[in-house]
Amino acid sequence: MAELTSSHDCEGVVKLNLGKTPLHELHLAHNAKMVDFAGWEMPLEYAGIIAEHKQVRTAAGLFDVSHMGEILISGPEAENMVQLLVTSDVQALQNLQITYTVMCAADGGTVDDLLVYKYSPEKFLLVVNAANTAKDLAWIKQHQLPNCEVNDLSEQYALIAIQGPRADAILQSVCPDDLSRLKLFRFIPESFVAGRPALISRTGYTGERGFEIYLAPADAPHVWQELLRQGGADITPIGLGARDTLRFEAKLPLYGQELGPEITPLEAGLAWFVNLDKPEFIGQAALRQQAAAGLKRQQVEFEMQGRGVPRAGYPVQKDGREIGQVTTGYYTPTLDKNIGLALIESEYARPGELIDIVVRKRLIPAQVGQGLFYVPAYRRKKNSK
């Protein structure tokens, strides 16, 4: 997660010029601890990060993610333009299908990771990270094709995520569409939630079943309150702190930590989302070369063998020599262990390899492994009944 800082300075004065989502007043009404996140005043936590984390894993949570950016690409050449911009093959997507993907620079480094919503070959909605919206918009316009329009719709959308085992039942109670028919990474472009027009997608950033709801900013407070009312004890507001622990526990990457200008999607373990065989995309040549030569460094999972919580940026050593650094690390409430992700030299990226994490100048042993993370709901086998 991008750096979180208090939205109040040492004298208790609220910092100026922070963006506020349409749900800002409701966060304050729920006694949220507000922080500066990517230039937005956002809720870090309400009842505590661990309690909110467990709420989403066992029932349902409601997230304000209205700070995310939405960029529309439309026109006769829209599909060709999006194909050029991202590593996935969007031509293979069906209409009303979504893909997670990556935009790369010419050298293979990551510009951003994002979701692409395909309405049709002539219309795509790109949902980008809040901190990168202006940068991404400039990058996209730099590579704009003739007969394509690029429009920043970020101010036209509020975005609410409802996640957790009870999310389906709660949202269904205020939605006329049969949500059981909405498959993972699909969307309904024109629906209603609590009587208000909305786009509904079966997506999320927690590893649980759930949905993301795009709607007009003016409608967001009504929908937020209705979802909380309908869900009762089964749903509570969730802050950015638990959003980060949930996504990490499910091994979902975060731009600025697992990905960045100096980290390619191949190094980050996202080869599945990089189609090196499609006709062309920005960064393709560099990534092909990297794949052919073999990765010099790569992301690994590790579990701490001694007392200590790994944090992003902590050095990783082997036999006294630095071989990389932690990208994210936490105590995971669901799994009850200290685990992490690290970008290290490939020579040491073998399961079972012993490494050292430098925690406040102390060397804490850890072991590289596989399958250490929470298995997302959509990857679990369905019950036989």
208 within domain boundaries = yes
CATH number at residue 325: 2.40.30.110
Residues 244 and 355 in one domain: no
Inside any domain, residue 281: no
Tokens of 187: 């969307």
**Same domain for 95 and 38:** no
pTM for the predicted model, two decimal places: 0.94
Work out the pLDDT band at 382, boundaries 50, 70, 90: low
Cβ–Cβ under 8 Å, residues 44 and 4: yes
Are the C-beta atoms of 250 and 53 separated by less than 8 Å?
Answer: no
Give dist(CA 125, CA 139) in Å, integer.
15
Burial state string for 132-150 with b = 16 or more CB within 10 A and e = fewer than 16: bbeebbebbeeebbeebeb
Are both 244 and 175 inside the same structural domain? yes
21 contacts: CB under 8 Å, gap ≥ 6? 40, 42, 64, 66, 67, 158, 217, 220
Lowest mean pLDDT among 156-170, 253-267, 367-381: 367-381
Q: Which helix (H) or strand (E) holds 36?
A: strand 33-37
What would you measure as the largest C-alpha separation in the chain, in angstroms?
62
- Last residue within a domain, chosen from 153, 177, 208: 153
Confidence of residue 144 (pLDDT cuts 50, 70, 90): very high
Q: For 201-225, write each residue's pLDDT tens digit.
A: 999 999 999 999 999 999 999 999 9
Residue 103 lies in a domain: yes
Q: β-pairing, 60-64 with 235-238?
A: parallel
Instruction: Give the model confidence (pLDDT) of 252-289 as tens digits.
Output: 999 999 999 999 999 999 999 999 999 999 999 999 99
What is the pLDDT, as a whole number, of residue 379? 85
Using alpha carbons only, give the angle 226, 6, 33 rounded to the nearest 5 degrees. Answer: 30
pLDDT at 3 over 80: no
37 with 84, same domain? no
| Average model confidence (pLDDT) across the chain | 94
The whole-angstrom separation of Cα 313 and Cα 342 is 9
Q: What's 144's domain CATH number?
A: 3.30.70.1400
Reported as a single tens digit per residue, the pLDDT across 27-41 is 999 999 999 999 999
How is residue 240 annotated by DSSP? H
Question: What pLDDT sits at residue 16?
Answer: 58
Any idea what the CATH number is for the domain that residue 165 is in?
3.30.1360.120
Question: Which of 105, 134, 153 corresponds to the end of one domain?
Answer: 153
Q: Is the pLDDT reported for residue 171 higher than 90?
A: yes
Domain count, the chain: 3
| C-alpha–C-alpha distance, residues 299 and 287, integer Å | 16
In a domain, 259, yes or no: no
When pLDDT is cut at 50, 70 and 90, the band that residue 17 belongs to is: confident
The Cα–Cα gap between 198 and 86 comes to 26
Closest by CA to 231, choosing from 64, 53, 59, is 59
Structural domain including 357 reads: 296-369
What is the pLDDT, as a whole number, of residue 179?
Answer: 98
**Residue 383 banded pLDDT, cuts 50, 70, 90:** very low
* 244 and 168 inside one domain: yes
Q: What are the residues whose beta carbons fall under 8 Å from the beta carbon of 174, sequence distance 6 or more?
A: 193, 194, 195, 223, 226, 227, 230
Give the residue from 249, 272, 305 where a domain finishes: 249
Q: State mean pLDDT over 44-58.
A: 98
Rounded CA gap, 159 and 69, in Å? 10
pLDDT above 50 (res 14): no
Band the pLDDT of 10: cuts 50, 70, 90.
Answer: very low
Answer yes or no: do 112 and 130 share one domain.
Answer: yes
pLDDT of residue 381: 66
Say which residue the tokens 């070369």 belong to.
289
In a shared domain, residues 132 and 212: no
- For residue 380, the model assigns a pLDDT of 79
Same-domain pairing of 193 and 87: no
Whether residue 112 is contained in a domain is answered as: yes
Any domain includes 256: no
Co-location of 300 and 333 in the same domain: yes
Does 169 share its domain with 57? yes
Tell me: do 142 and 169 sit in the same domain: no
Q: H/E element holding 289? A: helix 284-293
- Check whether 166 has a pLDDT greater than 90: yes
Asked whether residue 233 falls in the same domain as residue 176, the answer is: yes
Residue 202 lies in a domain: yes
State mean pLDDT over 120-127: 98
Task: Note the pLDDT tens digit of each residue in 180-204.
Answer: 999 999 999 999 999 999 999 999 9
Q: Which element (helix H / strand E) includes 49?
A: helix 49-58
C-alpha of 377 from chain center: 16
Question: How far is residue 94's CA from residue 269's CA, in Å, rounded to a whole number?
Answer: 25
Tens digit of each residue's pLDDT (9 = 90 or more) over 294-329? 999 999 999 999 999 999 999 999 999 999 999 999
Q: Which residue reads 């390899």 in tokens? A: 353
H or E element that contains 255: none
Q: 260: closest CA among 344, 318, 343, 196?
A: 343
